[in-house]
A and B are shown apart, each in its own frame.
Chain A
Amino acid sequence: MPKQLRAFVWTLIAFTGAAALSVIALRRGETISALWLVVAAGCSYALGYRFYSRFLAMKVLVLDPVRATPAERLENGRDFVRTNKWVVFGHHFAAIAGPGPLVGPVLAAQFGYLPGTLWILAGAVFGGCVQDFVILLFSVRRDGKSLTEMAREEIGKVGGAIAYVSILAIIVILLGVAALIVVNALKGSPWGTFTIAMTIPIALLMGLYLRRIRPGKVLETSVLGFVLVVLAILGGQWVSQNLVWAQWFTLSASTLALVIIFYGFAASALPVWLLLAPRDYLSTFVKLGVIFLLAAGILLVRPQLHMPALTRFIDGSGPVFAGNIFPFAFITIACGAISGFHSLISSGTTPKLIARETEARMVGYGAMMAESMVAIMAMIAACAMQPGVYFAISSPAGVVGAAPEAAATTISNLGFHVTASDMAALARSVGEQTLYNRTGGAPAFAVGMAQIFSRSLGGDAVMAIWYHFALMFEALFILTVLDAGTRVGRFMVQDALGHWWRPLGRTSWYPSILATSALIVGAWGYFLWQGVKDPLGGINSLWPLFGIANQLLAIVAMCVATTILIKMRRARYAPVTLAPLCVLVLVTFTASWHKIFDANPRIGFLAHARLLTSQMASAPKPGDLARLILNDRIDALVAGVLVCLVSLILLESGLVWWRVLSGRNEASIKESAFVMSRFVGEEA
């Protein structure tokens, strides 16, 4: 394309993006089409990729196309394999895309669509994509080393240890929150519970089919599993309408929590091939399909956004969760803009597959853009439904009331009209008895998605099928994270305990497997149980805690990245990671301070504990209050310890930067030596 035409096209994209953003930001008092969000996102990503990631690749990181990657130098046909860039892109995207970018934006929709959308776009282009790209490249240059290893080698021993503790903490909190989302989505729902319960025998069947009947035919097995899951969804409708069966599958939140805790323990101890792997395949298959379906549905239906651009809840009084727009919009969005967890994937499997350094840009930066687009779609799904309905579904009973009339009146009084009969009709249309107080974001997302799907295919008649399909997709997704996370956490604990007593480190020794599985399941099970028993719905306390832990891990990743850039004598470019690092520190430390010390009992853990302590004397069951007080204090302690640990890594990193920049220490990085690629000149 001629240079002038190229310049014209990019100018057009820039103006189109600016126009779309202006509509999103400035239009007040009337609904706007969701397409404005899609156009703004598309233009922002295009510009970010074309210009900012190019700047990072050429000026900051100086990607070298002739430098052999570990996939070439260490190729073994197993872990290290030169792979086509599109294949690595798909593989990386499938690994980073989780429930976070779906749930976070749905919860943040209580502030309106504007704050969340702006942070998803800016956070991804200048933060999340940069983190994923930079960490991927640095891991490629270090033979695919993990974030923990890079932190230990480039920052110091404290950095390595803190990275380890942060990763373990985020896994435990994530699993507790994820399990709570499933419990809140399935409580009192025989249809949903039956469908999800059926995914366990389906996964076992897939495992046996793969191993005994059609070895290695995973795609074929996944298609078969998907067909069985669709049959389970249809069967769920029958179960929900059958008095006897419906009773069996109508479970309370507490019972569901116990079932999930037991499931997590069993899944962690069973052979990988039997449950974890087939479930992972099935979940990935459904995940990729649903993301494409949702994108197509949004483009086809072009829904109007009924949620205002900004709601009155930016002052922190929102019923879904408490907290001001700053910092809680940032903490709540989390993975849709920047996710510390991605740095584990970028320094895990992916760097061992990259065929040439220049492809790290497309894989690292590009895949995060795709994940961010998923977050935008989740925002659209939440904001396309009537705001009153959104708040009725997502608000806890402790805030808006448990009785339908009371909840509808409270929400209407907040300025978002909804009636008990509207909610009853909606519940009937999706095959549920009630949709009130389903905190956690998943049911609201499922309703939004079902409305979009049913308008593009099948109409109101199949609304219930689409709702349960969406619910199944999310729960399947989350339970897969639960399986895999419990096992990864177990291995991390076993690795650590193995230094203390060798047999505990043996991953095939059953006493060690059972003990460490119980330890990890007990840890996340504690958070789950706490959430289930919380009158404020659990998400109010636990999602911010998860967001804080996730963003603290991103701080660790950005510390590693900035340290390496400074040691590479590229300090003048360090702001590309230092600026997002400063934003993350500001957001995360402020949020942590609020969650621990804020005087509002709906926000601060300690204030809530004080409030409950003052009610102890008159409480009918003081034991219950004592447990809630202990939970608050533990949550405050967890947030405080995590912040202190990350402060230490910031301090250690700062010292390294100061020593290198002042010339006290020589800048030496731990890159593997340059080797010329054998594939120079080969077409990319």
Chain B
Amino acid sequence: MRSAIDFWKTALAVLREIFDESAYARFLVRRAVPSSTAAYAEFLRETEHTRARRPRCC
């Protein structure tokens, strides 16, 4: 049971990283601000450069 929970937690963490949710959470911690449309817009601005240059493989 415990290993199933661990597996689920890890799978969720993987998805959260792939989908940039973890990056947004880190952004909120770093800036010490709550989640809001303004904060998310700022996060998108900050990461636009990196995300726009992220190649998708063939």
- Residues of chain A at the chain B interface (Cβ within 8 Å): 77-79, 81, 83-84, 86-91, 94-100, 170-171, 174, 178, 210-212, 215-219, 222, 271-273, 276-277, 280-281, 284-285, 288, 334-335, 339, 341-342, 344-345, 348-349, 480-481, 484-485, 487-488, 491, 507, 546, 550
Judge whether A77 and B30 touch: CB under 8 Å.
yes
Chain B contact residues, majority secondary structure: helix
Taking the closest CB of chain A, its distance from the CB of B45, in whole angstroms, is 9
CB contact between B56 and one of A84, A98, A211, A215 (< 8 Å): that residue? A98
- Residues of chain B at the chain A interface (Cβ within 8 Å): 10, 13-27, 29-30, 35-37, 39-41, 43-44, 46-58
Judge whether B58 and A211 touch: CB under 8 Å.
no
CA of A254 to CA of B29, assembled, Å: 50
CB contact between A484 and one of B23, B44, B56 (< 8 Å): that residue? B56
Known: A77-B27, A484-B56, A507-B49. A86 touches B41 (CB 8 A): no
Chain A residues near B39 (CB, 8 Å)?
215
CA of A100 to CA of B57, assembled, Å: 8
CB contact between A100 and one of B16, B44, B51, B58 (< 8 Å): that residue? B58
Judge whether B18 and A90 touch: CB under 8 Å.
yes
Taking the closest CB of chain B, its distance from the CB of A279, in whole angstroms, is 10
What 8 pairs across the A-B complex have the smallest Cβ distances? A215-B40, A90-B14, A218-B19, A484-B56, A100-B58, A216-B24, A98-B57, A77-B30
Chain A residues near B41 (CB, 8 Å)?
211, 215
Chain A residues near B13 (CB, 8 Å)?
84, 86-87
Closest residue of chain A to B43, judged by CB? A216
Residue pairs across A and B with CB atoms within 8 Å: the count is 135
| 20 interchain pairs, CB-CB under 8 A | A78-B26, A79-B50, A86-B10, A86-B14, A87-B22, A88-B17, A97-B57, A100-B57, A170-B58, A178-B58, A216-B21, A216-B40, A218-B19, A272-B44, A272-B51, A281-B20, A284-B18, A334-B58, A485-B55, A488-B54
Judge whether A284 and B19 touch: CB under 8 Å.
yes
Taking the closest CB of chain B, its distance from the CB of A364, in whole angstroms, is 14
Chain B residues near A288 (CB, 8 Å)?
18
Chain A contact residues, majority secondary structure: helix
Chain A residues near B55 (CB, 8 Å)?
95, 171, 341, 344-345, 348, 484-485, 488
CA of A491 to CA of B14, assembled, Å: 28
Taking the closest CB of chain A, its distance from the CB of B20, in whole angstroms, is 6
* Apart from A77-B27, A170-B58: 13 A-B pairs, beta carbons within 8 A: A78-B26, A90-B15, A211-B40, A215-B35, A218-B24, A219-B21, A272-B44, A272-B51, A339-B58, A341-B57, A349-B50, A485-B55, A491-B52
